[in-house]
Structure 1
Amino acid sequence: MTRPSAPFWFTSTYSGGSGTECVECAQMTESILVRDSKDRSGPVLSASGQAWRAFTGALRRGLLEG
């Protein structure tokens, strides 16, 4: 698989509907990118696929508070 030249950003299905909790994600070849949709030129969090799965799994199991 070739790496995309630019990330394809999409709104997370876990973002709130009020417009105050919008998170965008992009899946790259070896990482997941996350950013605030209200500050698209701001910082981007990058995590390995393994770390992202561990994080979202912990959220689903209630091990982390939102």
Structure 2
Amino acid sequence: MVNKRLLSLCDESKKWIGMTVLMNWISIICNIAIVVYIGNVIDKLYNNDFNINILGSAVFIVAM
């Protein structure tokens, strides 16, 4: 939790706290998307529906 009294001493920090919260939300959304994608790849492998296009994008995602 952010101390409001501490924020009142330094108004410039509000911008950086807001940016940090925004970046954390973006990170959470990206992590969820990657988990869903990996689950989809595992499902395709299990059902023998895997093709080379999925492999290329999987390598790209893992490299990131």
TM-score (norm 1): 0.27
Which structure shows the bigger proportion of residues in helix conformation? Answer: 2
Say which one has the larger Rg: 2
Which structure shows the bigger proportion of residues in strand conformation? Answer: 1
